[in-house]
Amino acid sequence: MTNPNPSHKALVPFVSVANMMNLVHHIGLEPMLRGLADEIERDFRRWELFDKTPRVASHSDVGVIELMPTSDGEAYGFKYVNGHPKNTSEGLQTVTAFGLLADVYTGYPTLLTEMTLLTALRTAASSAMAAKFLAPKGATTMAMIGNGAQSEFQTMAMKAIIGLETVRLYDVDSAATEKAARNLHGMGVNVVSCTSAEESMEGAQIITTCTADKQCATILTDNMVGAGVHINAIGGDCPGKTELAPAILHRSDIFVEFPPQTRVEGEIQQLAEDHPVTELWQVINGSAKGRVSDKQITLFDSVGFAIEDFSALRYVKEHIKNTPFFQELDMLADPDDPRDLFGMLKRSK
Ligand code: NAD
């Protein structure tokens, strides 16, 4: 714990959606994705010192609302995030989020920020970081199945971090594929729009599944997946919400974020509780093996873990310094005499 600045100034920097977009444009999308991936990788290397807990999820028939806390002993962060697959049909986002960073020494918040965009960026950066360690060397083509809100971010992170050249898009809703193709036009990747999942996987060394449905769906069946590919499974991230046929899991070497959370939420909820998995942080720090052969199917069973959000929050806190991309929020009552909270109220009348 560091000794905090003893200043009584308790204004909290707040990054709005508009300012998050300003920040992304100011830094540049690809440099920011690389910066986030570096920050996440650094935190995965010091994984053991974090305070870790599976996220706290409140489920309903139509979705989930989750809190994702963690701390490295100096800073504490949490994200509020929802997942409501039915929302898009009502003109709303499936996933929205905001998050907070605080100083462990004082408990005072040090950042409040939108995290809907930041979640898309950090999820994409995490996927590409995992692919850097697990995908076949020189992978240049990715099948992108599910062309919703996350899909362009996933594609651009793979381009920025592992040099992806071609993305093959597929979605059950062709309007989503058209939207993604339009958005990715001129972004430096070849875009191929496909009309089936099978077609999207032709020649792909990486398969990303990023669909949203509150059920155990089968986006990939066993016969669709050939030897040697890397699967980046993003969409299965809740109890009863998966994307892959169990037979694929049995043929794959499976890499996860935090097993106690992934066993409940990830693709591996379909497997026995003791089915072997490797923790991604151990591959990153060299204590476990990643890809060991050309024939191996590697699967990153991503559900999203609090440390990735913590890394993203810290990145934003660092990068808004000396920019106009935040407002200062008066969200913390902080009387000059700490015991005179009532007096502060009385005098304000
Ligand atoms: P979205 O609703 O914007 O997009 C989902 C897309 O999937 C839609 O276009 C839909 O038509 C398509 N789809 C549904 N079923 C399909 C099928 N059988 N085949 C092909 N396409 C299909 O959602 P989003 O914000 O892009 O999120 C996608 C998923 O990723 C969600 O399930 C979300 O919970 C998950 N997610 C995971 C993480 C993580 O860290 N792992 C982070 C963010 C989001």
Percent of the chain with pLDDT over 70: 97
Task: Tell me the backbone φ, ψ of residue 244, rounded to 5 degrees.
Answer: -115, 145
Report the pLDDT averaged over residues 196-207.
Answer: 97
Q: Whose CA is closest to atom 29 on ligand 1?
A: 235
Mean pLDDT estimate for the chain: 95
Q: How high is the pLDDT of residue 10?
A: 87
Q: How high is the pLDDT of residue 9?
A: 64
Stated pTM of the model: 0.96
> Is 309 annotated in the active site?
no
Q: Which of 43, 171, 237, 309 is catalytic?
A: 237
Q: Is 68 in the pocket of ligand 1 (CB under 6 A)?
A: no
Residue from 182, 210, 258 to probe ligand 1 pocket by mutation (most atoms less than 8 Å from CB): 210
Q: Is 123 in the pocket of ligand 1 (CB under 6 A)?
A: yes
Task: Tell me the backbone φ, ψ of residue 155, rounded to 5 degrees.
Answer: -65, -45
Q: Whose CA is closest to atom 14 on ligand 1?
A: 211
pLDDT in tens, 146-194: 999 999 999 999 999 999 999 999 999 999 999 999 999 999 999 999 9
Q: How high is the pLDDT of residue 327?
A: 98
Report the pLDDT averaged over residues 198-205.
Answer: 97
d(CA 193, CA 200): 8
pLDDT in tens, 283-298: 999 999 999 999 999 9
Measured in whole angstroms, how far is the alpha carbon of residue 25 from the centre of its chain? 20
Question: Which atom of ligand 1 approaches the CA of 236 most closely?
Answer: 32
Q: Is 109 in the pocket of ligand 1 (CB under 6 A)?
A: no
In this predicted structure, the answer to whether residue 5 has a pLDDT above a threshold of 50 is no
Q: How high is the pLDDT of residue 2?
A: 46
pLDDT in tens, 244-283: 999 999 999 999 999 999 999 999 999 999 999 999 999 9
Task: List the alpha helices (DSSP H) in the chain.
Answer: 17-27, 29-45, 116-134, 151-162, 174-184, 197-200, 246-251, 259-265, 280-284, 306-319, 341-347
Q: Whose CA is closest to atom 41 on ligand 1?
A: 303
| Distance in Å, CA 211 to ligand 1 centroid | 3
The Cβ-side half-sphere exposure at 273, using a 13 Å CA radius, reads 2
Question: Which atom of ligand 1 approaches the CA of 303 most closely?
Answer: 41
Q: Whose CA is closest to atom 20 on ligand 1?
A: 171
| Distance in Å, CA 212 to ligand 1 centroid | 3
d(CA 159, CA 187): 10
Q: Is 279 in the pocket of ligand 1 (CB under 6 A)?
A: no
Q: Is 266 in the pocket of ligand 1 (CB under 6 A)?
A: no
pLDDT in tens, 36-75: 999 999 999 999 999 999 999 999 999 999 999 999 999 9
3-state secondary structure of 337: coil
Q: Is 145 in the pocket of ligand 1 (CB under 6 A)?
A: yes
Q: Is 195 in the pocket of ligand 1 (CB under 6 A)?
A: no
